[in-house]
């Protein structure tokens, strides 16, 4: 069972209002919703749009509708005010229904069948095998993984996809550096994760290349642009790297052996990072096996007039067909493919395999133009794909000291970041829980550290660029995972102390009529709608804010001695205990949607 109780209550109260409007010749348009003004009740509806149909003032229409609404058993007061219909509901009855629903219905955990029957592919991560993953990858991994979870929660069949970029000139840079400086080192002999070791050589290459370029300029060389210098015959390192890529494409055994060795190190390191981050995939593609995909599509498109030969011999697409300027090459003049060629072939192959209803690419906003072009070409080649392709574009994550640069070794590695958050959480925890044993402290610090990273990165709308603050991410105060984890642990503690003291007593739900318990109930009822909106808009920040909203309302509730559970009159105790149990279940479900491990104690 998965029900959105608030939506159900609204529909139930709305039905006789719509029936009355229809019977009097008006098309029902305005639904009940939360009032925008404090003190206006629990539900409200504007009647102004019906003035023309009834040829009456909105206030008079609200008066008529108030009479209809007052007949509903959940409505205890229906008030027409300035053309609005304001309704106050029976708080005890709503509380009883809400708490029963929260304890038994998976809809309270954000589950629904809104996307039942849909197949959605979500591609995320897509790392290069020349360096460890960094803070930017953390946002990509966590955003993609959470979007996939939300789509699954709302009924879709989701295929999580990773396309690892394991070939190309950037991979060869690490390989060339290993040839020059590796001296047979391995992750085991260096005592280092494989992806970190490979990344070290990527940085070594850049340092060596910069030194080479500086010496070239000092000797009177004229090519100041580093990229142009790299692609010239004047750069020995650039020439060696380009030759290595050509040898790889020709299947040179020695190059392929080194490539397999170093890629294996990097991918093993990635697997550890993913596991710690709680990120998984259903299918992993590699560019080394997909880079030739799409060439047949180019031939097909040429025959259909979608592609044509440019003056330089390259096969191109006229971007004016999709409202852009210029041309996009899909094959170079020498017949070799480009990234877009691969992406075309991969998309068509995935559709053939999965018959997806939607394909979501989680990629940073620096690739906005690429995806406009890619989708335009795909829709020209395969009109049936129109409307099924979506680029979930997200902003960059910056550090207090500026942008990250992999080549210069100034990135914050994902593993180092997680280690640092764990260490900071453990240090704070040792002061807070001095009697906690080391194993329990480590488990608690890991949940707070990794949970803090996830919540912080998800708490911004995807399009937002922001600065990551490690200290704030694990703060027990504010909009953080630690705050929500503490609320969950506090609920657990209350119930542990309560034991079975409330068993056998009939709950008195009028005890939940105060402002603070009602705020908790309102946050509960709002949660499924926020999950649905987050899945629809691909915006997990709606879930982090709804989770924090529930935790915050609950904290205000339990911090007020008037709402005590233990020691309260039996009926009130039973009702408040039910509220605590329901809050704990819903917080646990909310944290699960965000990939955050709840803590029983804090």
Find the largest Cα–Cα distance for the chain: 93
Assigned domain for 398 exists = no
CA separation for the pair 440, 203 (Å, rounded): 38
Q: Which of 285, 307, 323 is the last residue of a domain?
A: 285
CA separation for the pair 129, 144 (Å, rounded): 19
Interhelix angle for 438-458 vs 414-432, to 10°? Answer: 120
pLDDT digits (tens, 9 = 90+) for 564-602: 999 999 999 999 999 999 999 999 999 999 999 999 999
Is residue 209 located within the same domain as residue 74? no
Q: Which of 39, 72, 89 is the last residue of a domain?
A: 89
CATH of the domain at 22: 3.30.1360.70
Is residue 462 located within the same domain as residue 585? yes
84 pLDDT band, cuts 50/70/90, is very high
Is residue 424 located within the same domain as residue 553? yes
CA separation for the pair 403, 17 (Å, rounded): 56
Q: What pLDDT score does 38 carry?
A: 81
Among 294-308, 408-422, 447-461, whose mean pLDDT is lowest?
Answer: 408-422
Assigned domain for 455 exists = yes
Q: What pLDDT score does 411 carry?
A: 67
Is residue 452 located within the same domain as residue 562? yes
**Contact yes or no for 67/93 (Cβ under 8 A):** no
* Cα 74 versus chain centre, distance: 37
Q: What is the mean pLDDT of residues 316-320?
A: 97
**Which secondary-structure segment (H or E) carries 434?**
none
Per the structure, the count of domains in the chain is 3
Is residue 69 located within the same domain as residue 205? no
Assigned domain for 296 exists = no
Residue % of the chain over a pLDDT of 70: 98
User: Which span out of 31-35, 247-251, 574-578 was modeled with the highest average pLDDT?
Assistant: 574-578
CA separation for the pair 361, 370 (Å, rounded): 12
Q: What is the mean pLDDT of residues 363-386?
A: 97
Is residue 576 located within the same domain as residue 438? yes
Residue 403 has pLDDT above 60, yes or no: no
- The chain-wide mean pLDDT, for the chain, equals 95
Which domain does 573 fall in, by range?
414-593
CB atoms within 10 A of CB 416: 14
Residues in the chain: 602
Is residue 441 located within the same domain as residue 570? yes
Is residue 69 located within the same domain as residue 209? no
Residue 50 has pLDDT above 70, yes or no: yes
The two tokens of residue 261 are 């060795």
pLDDT digits (tens, 9 = 90+) for 487-520: 999 999 999 999 998 889 999 999 999 999 999 9
CATH of the domain at 430: 1.10.730.10
> Would you call 183 exposed, middle or buried from its count of C-beta atoms within 10 A (0-12, 13-18, 19+)?
exposed
Q: Which of 42, 71, 89 is the last residue of a domain?
A: 89
**Residues in contact with 336: Cβ distance below 8 Å, sequence separation at least 6, in sequence order:** none
Assigned domain for 519 exists = yes
Q: What pLDDT score does 292 carry?
A: 86
Residue 232 has pLDDT above 90, yes or no: yes
Q: What is the DSSP letter of 30?
A: P
**Contact yes or no for 550/531 (Cβ under 8 A):** no
Q: What is the mean pLDDT of residues 214-222?
A: 96
Q: Which of 483, 356, 347, 397 is nearest to 142 (CA)?
A: 397
**What percent of the chain is helix, strand and coil (3-state, nearest 5)?**
60, 10, 30
Q: What pLDDT score does 36 carry?
A: 85
Is residue 561 located within the same domain as residue 419? yes
């Amino acid at each position: 069972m998965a029900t959105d109780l608030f939506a159900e209550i609204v529909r139930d109260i709305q039905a006789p209002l719509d029936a009355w409007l229809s019977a009097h010749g008006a098309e029902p348009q305005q639904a009940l919703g939360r009032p925008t003004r404090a003190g206006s009740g629990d539900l409200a509806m504007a009647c102004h749009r019906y003035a023309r149909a009834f040829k009456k003032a909105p206030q008079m229409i609200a008066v008529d509708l108030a009479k209809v609404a007052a007949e509903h058993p959940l409505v205890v007061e229906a008030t027409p005010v300035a053309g609005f219909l304001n309704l106050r509901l029976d708080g005890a009855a709503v509380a009883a229904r809400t708490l029963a629903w929260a304890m038994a219905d998976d809809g309270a955990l954000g589950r629904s069948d809104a996307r039942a029957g849909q197949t959605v592919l979500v591609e995320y991560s897509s790392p290069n095998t020349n360096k460890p993953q960094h803070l930017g990858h953390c946002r990509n991994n966590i955003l993609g993984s959470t979007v996939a979870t939300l789509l699954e929660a709302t009924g879709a069949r989701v295929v999580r996809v990773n396309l690892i970029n394991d070939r190309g000139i950037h991979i060869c840079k690490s390989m060339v550096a290993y040839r020059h400086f590796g001296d047979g080192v391995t992750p085991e002999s260096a005592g280092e994760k494989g992806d970190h070791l490979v990344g070290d050589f990527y940085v070594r290459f850049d340092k060596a290349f910069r030194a080479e370029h500086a010496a070239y300029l000092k000797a009177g060389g004229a090519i100041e642009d580093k990229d142009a210098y790299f692609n010239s015959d004047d750069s020995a390192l650039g020439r060696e790297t380009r030759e290595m890529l050509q040898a790889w494409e020709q299947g040179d055994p020695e190059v392929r052996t080194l490539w397999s060795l170093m890629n294996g190190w990097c991918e093993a390191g990635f697997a550890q990072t993913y596991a710690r981050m709680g990120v998984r995939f259903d299918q992993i593609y590699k560019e080394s096996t997909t880079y030739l995909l799409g060439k047949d599509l180019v031939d097909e498109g040429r025959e259909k007039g979608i592609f044509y030969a440019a003056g330089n011999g390259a096969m191109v697409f006229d971007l004016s067909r999709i409202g852009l300027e210029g041309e996009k090459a899909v094959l170079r003049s020498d017949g070799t493919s480009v990234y877009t060629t691969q992406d075309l072939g991969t998309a068509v192959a995935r559709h053939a395999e999965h018959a997806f209803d939607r394909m979501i690419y989680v990629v940073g906003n620096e690739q906005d133009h690429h995806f406009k072009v890619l989708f335009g070409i795909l829709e020209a080649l395969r009109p049936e794909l129109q409307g099924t392709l979506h680029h979930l574009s997200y902003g960059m994550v910056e550090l207090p000291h500026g942008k990250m640069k992999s080549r210069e070794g100034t990135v914050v590695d994902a593993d180092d970041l997680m280690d640092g958050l764990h260490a900071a959480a453990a240090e704070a925890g040792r002061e807070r829980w001095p009697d906690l044993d080391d194993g329990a402290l480590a488990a608690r610090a890991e949940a707070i550290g990794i949970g803090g990273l996830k919540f912080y990165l998800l708490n911004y709308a995807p399009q937002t660029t922001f600065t990551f603050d490690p200290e704030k991410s694990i703060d027990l105060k504010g909009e953080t995972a630690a705050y929500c984890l503490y609320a969950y642990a506090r609920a657990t503690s209350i119930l542990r102390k309560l034991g079975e003291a409330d068993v056998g007593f009939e709950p008195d739900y009028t005890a939940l009529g105060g402002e603070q318990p009602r705020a908790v109930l309102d946050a509960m009822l709002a949660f499924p709608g926020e999950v649905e909106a987050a899945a629809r808009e691909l915006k997990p920040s709606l879930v982090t804010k709804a989770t924090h909203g529930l935790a915050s309302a609950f904290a205000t509730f339990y911090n007020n001695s008037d709402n005590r559970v233990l020691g309260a009159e039996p009926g009130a105790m039973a009702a408040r205990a039910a509220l605590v149990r329901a809050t704990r279940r819903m917080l646990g479900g909310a944290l699960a949607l965000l990939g955050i491990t709840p803590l029983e104690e804090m």
